[in-house]
A and B are shown apart, each in its own frame.
Chain A
């Protein structure tokens, strides 16, 4: 049976470019994962809907605009409303250290700031999946 880690890479919020998200998407692909890329300006509702249709194991969000404190927890709220517990959710982008504890408390399992090597994100995903792939 062929098993692959499936990841949704999404950019919530109003950021104008998605270079960082594309870099991580390619790195995950090169690590052998199937990456569904949804592009810019996704609402939390769209992100969750896409994640469910695509049956992904991981949601990886990237944000530069500073709206992470609102948008990341919002995604977690919608997942909870839909009773989804087995998707690993991680976030990256320009996120001040002070914000990280609250994001983790909200359920964002890993937070990756600029400069984190992509290999760290890949390892984190492999070691923290919430369901067996």
Chain B
């Protein structure tokens, strides 16, 4: 048996070292992994429910993940966690501390936890995250949880990988709610206000609801608006009890109805208050996470979302490789020569860009032959 196939085989039959080694090879972008990933059919997503946990630094994402893992385990599900922390841009080193909160699951064979450093990648994830998640999916974990780095307002790549995104907020961050307004709000499917044992949690819940209401009334494109529309359509068209159930379940509890311009009612995603330290509210949170997946599945949106996300990943990966091609010595010289021509006013900026494109096309052609 070749090395790749034996690694694949060991990973498939539960060898933790083989699983962990494959992730290391993914992180290194080592071609040695490709045969094994192919043998494991790890290119496309399978049956795992991928849940993203995101929110500002220190919001309690890891503590919450720990409790979510316990809840999922009590429901008989196996869980993999991918926890991402930032690398230092200066030294390249990283302190990966998410695991501190989850380590009591370390010896549970139904749980696999892996910490990844961003290694310079922007967007709140590491470059290896997508491939790692597909591997864990292929290895048969029922749920894969991704904990992003603590986000500000632009690290929203999680929507490209997760079926369900949980956006965690906390009281007492002051202006942070402003950051959420500025654009992160749109990425949530389920909203969580953690540290509900602290003053001001109810106010944050109210603020989030009112922002969601505004977003919905303004017709802002949010993750959940498409789902709600699809669920409503399906319900109206078919009146299938199964869909009505998924919808009823999803809107039960925190999601609620408000009058909008006298046009019936608006539906909002759930906003759940939790105390991650004690586990309070976590069962309800997991109910909502699962109901969201059920809604996506019932409407066919799960497949649609995964297709769009995989297409995005393919494009991003290819773009990354193009940048890599540009870094070859020969290309660098060509591009520098074009820059000289622009500086000497012999060439327009956009003509020079076209020159770079031609150089890239040439590089791709010679790579293929």
Contacts and interface: CB of A to CB of B under 8 A. Distances in A.
Size bracket, chain B contacts? 20 to 34
Nearest to B92: A32
A38 interface: yes
Nearest to B100: A39
A38 B103 contact: yes
B119 interface: yes
A22 B42 CA distance: 37
Contacts of B106: 38, 45-46, 49-50, 53
Contact of B97 (A37, A49, A52): A37
Contacts of A53: 16, 19-20, 106, 112-114
Contacts of A35: 93-96
A61 B19 CA distance: 24
A50 B100 CA distance: 11
A70 interface: no
Contacts of A4: 92-93, 117, 119
B292 interface: no
A30 to B, nearest CB: 5
Given A34-B117, A46-B106, A55 B29 contact: no
Interface in A27-48: 28-39, 42-43, 45-46
A1 interface: yes
Interface string A110-122: 0000000000000
Interface of A: 1-4, 6, 25-26, 28-39, 42-43, 45-46, 49-50, 52-55, 84
20 contacts: A2-B28, A2-B29, A4-B119, A26-B95, A29-B88, A30-B93, A31-B93, A32-B91, A33-B93, A34-B117, A36-B115, A37-B95, A39-B103, A42-B103, A45-B107, A46-B104, A46-B106, A53-B16, A53-B113, A55-B21
